[in-house]
Amino acid sequence: MIGYFRKLLKDRRGNALVIAGAALPLIIGSAGLASDTIQWALMKRQLQRTADSAALAGVYGKLASQTVNTGTCSASGSQPVYRDVFIQSNANARVDGTVTCTVGTPASPWNGSGYNAVAVTVSTSRAMGFSGLFLSTPPTITASATAAVVQSGKYCVISLDTNSDTGISFSGNAQVNLGCGLKTNAKGSSAIDGTGSSTITASPVAAVGQISNGGNFASGTTFQPYSSPQTDPYASINAPASSTFPSGNCPNFSVNSNQTVTSLHANTDYKAMSGASAGYYCMGSMSLNGTVTLPSGVYVIDGGDFSVGAQANVTCTGCTFILTNRSTSTSPAPSIGKVNMNGGATVDLTNSTSGTYANMLFYQDRRATLANGNGQSNLINGNSSSTIQGTMYFPSTSTTFNGTSGLSTNCVQLVGWQVAFTGNTTINNTCPAGGPHAFDGSMVRLVA
């Protein structure tokens, strides 16, 4: 018997089979765990996609004045998040299980005011094919995401056009150096369009739609197509109330090309306004063709235009020009004038620095119709000796910089429905101390 066992121990036949048999549990276990890992990673990815989308939906919901409460997602307490998880993403079907969704409190600093942040956690329990044989309870797979409103850049030209148009355009030989960014809410394929021999130095350049760049933008420009819309930064500022206007029509103020005016006369050149608009000058229109030095203040133009002729020399330091109409009618829209500054004029206009219209140079009533009903846009020009400082607000109409202006703009902010830079216009925008500054742009992004 002892000899038999000695022979058996020395026999090498069948060793590979024995080793393979001993390793078989390890091989099967590794394959099972690999299969579980792939399934786990896929489900984790599906949940993360759902959490990301839900957090973004929550922020957009807040921006649309919808309520997003913390706690378990529900159709009443966190409607935009709930709809995105269970209706848009159809999360239960996506993971072939039951998904739990919770809206939490965003971590610092995203829990501060202004961020409108939303933190979402989604999870599901799922027994895996192999590891489930050895676990008493199925593992829980969790994914979290936080979205918030973050700054996207500094903008000094904003187009509020929400159609599939071109919101901001550059053509001809326009040479524009803004020192800040451009943004439009237009959704077109050329929402911002640079053509011809124009050269644009501005960054970032953002649009809700697409940006058309034919090589006109300076090297290093940051492009942000498909951005979230920009809100009207002056939506809370309104034109003077009709009750503050003087009785009777306000006089039209006109200066001929051979005249020099350095002061204004009550009831002849203007009428005084009252109430909240006390101290404002009311005029039916302003047509300036000679040499004019206007006193500081707010000029309310009741139904007419602000026009500067080719040979005019106009100076106004600390001024705001408001284009409105005392009529409260909305349908039909009342006549509201435009700005027309000829390229041959010499202008030196700087904004008011205090009061309701601080930092504003031009304010046009929102009731103005596109192209002002006469096929013309607001036209901003001036010769190479001209300087303009202040915000220009034309929220419902188009504005064009055109011609061989060569004017200098100081910290200009321009908000319009559509904005165009054409012809041989040359603009260099600089920011001296005390002038208005660029708008903070915002966008919704995942931050965690």
- pLDDT tens digits, one per residue of 352-392: 989 999 989 999 999 988 764 444 589 988 777 788 888 99
Q: Say if residue 252 is in the same domain as residue 119.
A: no
Q: Is residue 90 part of a domain?
A: yes
Task: Report the distance separating Cα 149 and Cα 59, nearest Å.
Answer: 7
Q: What is the secondary structure of 420-431 as a DSSP string?
A: EE-TT-EEEEE-
Q: Say if residue 252 is in the same domain as residue 356.
A: yes
Q: Say if residue 249 is in the same domain as residue 388.
A: yes
| 3-state DSSP assignment of residue 8 | helix
Q: Say if residue 140 is in the same domain as residue 244.
A: no
Q: Is residue 1 part of a domain?
A: no
Q: Is residue 261 part of a domain?
A: yes
Q: Say if residue 252 is in the same domain as residue 132.
A: no
Tokens of residue 175, six digits: 């040479």
Counting the structural domains of the chain, the total is: 2
Which residue, among 323, 436, 342, has the nearest Cα to 389 in the 3D structure? 436
Q: Say if residue 299 is in the same domain as residue 439.
A: yes
Q: Say if residue 331 is in the same domain as residue 437.
A: yes
How confident is the model at residue 323, as a pLDDT? Answer: 97
- The percent of residues in the chain predicted with pLDDT above 90, rounded, is 44
Listed residues 88, 122, 151: the one ending a domain: 151
Which residue, among 350, 369, 356, has the nearest Cα to 436 in the 3D structure? 350
Q: Is residue 201 part of a domain?
A: no
Listed residues 151, 169, 194: the one ending a domain: 151
Q: What is the pLDDT of residues 250-306, one digit of tens each?
A: 999 999 999 999 999 999 999 999 999 999 999 999 999 999 999 999 999 999 999
User: What's the residue count for the chain?
Assistant: 448
| 3-state DSSP assignment of residue 433 | coil
Domain ranges, residue 111: 12-151
* Arithmetic mean of pLDDT, 10-30: 64
Beta strands in 68-190 (DSSP E): 71-72, 99-104, 118-125, 140-159, 168-170, 175-177, 181-184
How confident is the model at residue 374, as a pLDDT? Answer: 47
Q: Say if residue 134 is in the same domain as residue 265.
A: no
Q: Is residue 224 part of a domain?
A: no
How confident is the model at residue 184, as a pLDDT? Answer: 93
What is the overall mean pLDDT for the chain?
A: 85
Q: What is the pLDDT of residues 208-241, one digit of tens each?
A: 999 988 788 888 899 999 888 888 989 999 999 9
